[in-house]
Amino acid sequence: MITTIIFDLDGVLIDSELYWQDDEVPFLKKLIPTWNSEQERKIIGMNVDNLYQYLVSEFKLKISKKEFLKGYDQLALAIYQKKTQLLPNSIDLLQRLKQANCTIAVASSSPRHWIDWLLKRIDISRFFTLIVSVEDSGGNGKPNPEIYLYTTKKLKKNPKECLAIEDSHNGVLAAKNAGMKCIGIRNGFNDDQDLSRCDLIISDFKELTIKKIKEM
């Protein structure tokens, strides 16, 4: 029986992916003039360190990692401190899970200080037993399962008793590679993401009942 629900953050609880797509593409086009929407789809769910390595490998990116991370921090500061909002019915689901005595956690590919920027403005910390950044788990981003394996270990839970909620192909692969069940959410701006390996795909948190989750 599922007793633990682990949420991705961007695109699952908050609508930040919408702003990342708007702000990230112009930023990357300045660095890589041939950058396009097809390439953008491939990087959704990657953490910023893995993204830098990918761009150096695939596009011979010349900018230093320090400069690259500084540029991303500037994008993230605007997104998390000013723009992003909670996705519809996310608070309702968190409240229902809490009332049902489920263990709730976050496993995010974002750096810790990005998460902190968000939580200073939208405080949802009270719902979670644990909030994990990719930096906590060793730095290997999704689709590597490391962040989910780290999170379940810290929670002292068997991955088979855990459910991940994801919005990207890379995130789904990470959850499934960790041996977990996975729900994919269609959030209105990820129609191009392959969620076919999910055990269930939803378009609104209203579709999820506690009974349905526990019986997955």
Mean of the per-residue pLDDT values of the chain: 94
94 with 138, same domain: the answer is yes
Domain of residue 68: give its range: 17-83
pLDDT tens for each residue of 160-207: 999 999 999 999 999 999 999 999 999 998 998 999 999 999 999 999
pLDDT tens for each residue of 58-97: 999 999 999 999 999 999 999 999 999 999 999 999 999 9
Among the three residues 83, 118, 137, which one is the final residue of a domain in this structure?
83
46 with 92, same domain: the answer is no
Average pLDDT (26-38) is 92
169 with 181, same domain: the answer is yes
28 with 135, same domain: the answer is no
Residue 116, pLDDT score: 95
146 with 172, same domain: the answer is yes
On the question of pLDDT at 37 being above 90, the answer is: no
179 with 163, same domain: the answer is yes
The total of other beta-carbon atoms located within 10 Å of residue 153's CB is 11
121 with 182, same domain: the answer is yes
For every residue of 33-61, DSSP letters joined together read TT--HHHHHHHTT--HHHHHHHHHHHH--
Residue 118, pLDDT score: 95
Cα–Cα distances in Å, from 205 out to 30, 123, 187, 195, 202?
37, 19, 10, 16, 7
51 with 139, same domain: the answer is no
11 with 67, same domain: the answer is no
Block residue for tokens 């500037």: 74
Percentage of residues in the chain with pLDDT exceeding 70? 100
53 with 151, same domain: the answer is no
What token pair was written down for 59? 């596009």
Count of structural domains, the chain: 2
On the question of pLDDT at 45 being above 80, the answer is: no
99 with 22, same domain: the answer is no
Residue 114, pLDDT score: 96
39 with 90, same domain: the answer is no
What token pair was written down for 195? 């969620």
Among the three residues 39, 56, 83, which one is the final residue of a domain in this structure?
83
